[in-house]
């Protein structure tokens, strides 16, 4: 069975028209979710909670897309 993990995170942006965080040390990590629907529900909850702050943005990162088991590991990964 393939896992399709999703990370939900957000923070305050420098400019609402760009995706550059004001301070990456202050990012809010909502969590890692086992499917898109649960990640979307968490994202929606946080986005609605912070709707009054135009500089706050939350995102869903598709963690399962970051690693393809069929692709050889990079030299940096092999050092670990």
Per-domain residue ranges for the chain?
6-79
Looking at residue 42, its pLDDT comes to 98
Looking at residue 79, its pLDDT comes to 46
pLDDT in tens, the chain (80 residues): 677 899 999 999 999 999 999 999 999 999 999 999 999 999 999 999 999 999 999 999 998 887 666 665 555 454 44
Give the C-alpha separation, 70 to 56, whole Å.
Answer: 37
Edge-to-edge, what's the strand order for the sheet holding 28-33?
28-33, 6-12, 56-62
Looking at residue 64, its pLDDT comes to 81
For the whole model, what pTM was predicted?
0.79
Pick the CATH number of 6-79 from 3.40.50.12280, 3.50.50.60, 3.30.70.2400, 3.30.200.20: 3.30.70.2400
Q: Answer yes or no: are the C-beta atoms of 11 and 28 closer than 8 Å.
A: yes
């Amino acid at each position: 069975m393939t896992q399709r993990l999703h990370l939900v995170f957000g923070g305050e942006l420098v400019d609402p028209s760009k995706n550059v965080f004001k301070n990456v040390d202050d990012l809010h990590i909502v969590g890692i979710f086992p499917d898109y629907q649960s990640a979307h529900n968490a994202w929606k909850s946080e986005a609605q909670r912070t709707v009054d702050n135009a500089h706050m943005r939350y995102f869903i990162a598709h963690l399962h897309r970051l690693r393809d088991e069929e692709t050889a590991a990079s030299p940096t990964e092999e050092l670990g």
